Amino acid sequence: MFLPIFDFENFTYATAIHMKTLQCLLYYVKTYVDNYPETLKCAFVINAPFYFICMYAVVKQVLPAIVVQKIRIYGTDGWREELLKWIDADVLPAFLGGNKTDPDGNPECNTIVSV
């Protein structure tokens, strides 16, 4: 089981409507749904801008209900508390509201977080 966190803090409207972005998003969603549907524990989308929430309202229509039920979307508020309900603070990176830092004290945990 995995629990991905997608941070959309710098996701601009221009990026959101770019055809390559949409193709990439659809490719990853289709790949996941076709090959790994039961491996998702929960997925978090944090710092989601309004237009992303609108786009998701359309995209979720083609997703299986079991997947839609596992996706949590948050704007800029409320997600830190919710993440701590699912992930122990000692393994959650500090920049996401946990206690984990890199050995050098970096709260972004660049040695373990995938970008």
pLDDT of residue 97: 94
- Locate tokens 């929960």: which residue? 42
**Cβ(3)–Cβ(86) below 8 Å:** yes
Kindly state which CATH superfamily the domain 5-77 is placed in. Answer: CRAL-TRIO lipid binding domain (3.40.525.10)
> E strand or H helix at 111, and its extent?
none
pLDDT of residue 114: 66
Strands, sheet with 5-7, edge to edge from the N-terminal-most edge strand: 5-7, 43-46, 71-73
* pLDDT tens-place values along the chain, 115 residues long: 889 899 999 888 888 888 888 888 888 888 888 888 788 899 999 999 998 888 889 888 888 898 899 999 999 999 999 999 999 999 999 999 999 999 999 999 888 776 6
What does pTM read for this prediction? 0.84
pLDDT of residue 115: 60
From the list 43, 48, 44, the residue with the least C-alpha distance to 9 is 48
Q: Which amino acid is at 57?
A: A
Spans of all domains in the chain? 5-77, 88-114
